[in-house]
Amino acid sequence: MSKVVLQSVLTCPECGHSSTDTMPSDACQFFYDCKGCGAVLRPRPGDCCVYCSFGDIPCPPVQEDAACCQGNGPA
């Protein structure tokens, strides 16, 4: 069994700013404010959270092959 990674580098699709952040292990993060340009990032269709869409490491539930929010975040 591999260890779950909690650090992910998010890269903003608007300005290209990258930031290393700690992912929540018990919830999906639907919104993220870019620290570079202030854009509010939301998951791409089909992704459960911003880390799965814009991070270099997917969220902990996806890493564990467990059920996540399945893209059912706020519209």
35-66 pLDDT, tens digit per residue, is 999 999 999 999 989 999 999 999 988 888 76
Residue 17 has pLDDT above 70, yes or no: yes
36/27: higher pLDDT: 36
Q: Given this model, what pLDDT does residue 61 score?
A: 86
In a domain, 26, yes or no: yes
Residue 67 has pLDDT above 80, yes or no: no
Which residues constitute the domain of residue 12?
7-63
In a domain, 75, yes or no: no
Quote the mean pLDDT of the chain: 87
Tally of domains within the chain:
1
**Tokens representing residue 13 in the block:** 């699709």
For 43-72, letters b (16+ CB in 10 Å) and e give: beeebbbbbbbbbebbbbbbbeeeebbebe
